[in-house]
Amino acid sequence: MIKFFLMVNKQGQTRLSRYYEHVEINKRTVLEAEVIKNCLSRSKDECSFVEYKDFKLVYRQYAALFIVVGIDQTENEMAVYELIHNFVEVLDKYFSRVSEFGLMYHKILQEILKTCCCTDLFLRQFFQPYFCYI
């Protein structure tokens, strides 16, 4: 199960956050800060999965942007790792350039991750509804 999805820049500022389990808003800030600290402190040749409290973080870096996904113990880390990439690819296709800019990501994310599980992402099908929404 996916617990949250974060996009952070290198300065540690949150650019996008989405929680799939309710977290108090003031606790979110604390959690995000810790999560970011955990991920930013790791070097490139260290592995992309971090244990944090009782869950795991899977992160991936795109230039100045970090995408961090919090998952529970039952999830397949590698699958989530690739899911991040899939997400970015879709963003890239749609926005032509993935930047730190962020609100519309939400809508795409909403399509990819339904009820905190990774659903398959089918580009064709994905764009259909997306056009509908805008």
Do residues 1 and 71 touch, judged by C-beta distance below 8 A?
Answer: yes
- Cα–Cα distance between 126 and 107 in angstroms, integer? 11
Query: Which residue in the set 4, 5, 35, 48 belongs to the binding site for other proteins (CB under 8 A)?
Result: 48
Q: How far is the CB of 66 from other proteins (least distance, A)?
A: 15
Query: Which residue in the set 3, 17, 67, 87 belongs to the binding site for other proteins (CB under 8 A)?
Result: 17
Task: Answer yes or no whether residue 63 interacts with other proteins by CB under 8 A.
Answer: no
Do residues 90 and 122 touch, judged by C-beta distance below 8 A?
Answer: no
- Cα–Cα distance between 23 and 9 in angstroms, integer? 22
- Cα–Cα distance between 82 and 88 in angstroms, integer? 10
Which residues lie near other proteins (CB under 8 A)?
A: 13-14, 16-18, 22, 25-26, 28-29, 32, 45-51, 53-54, 76-79, 81-83, 85-86, 94-97, 100-104, 106-107, 110, 114-115, 117-125, 128-129, 131-134
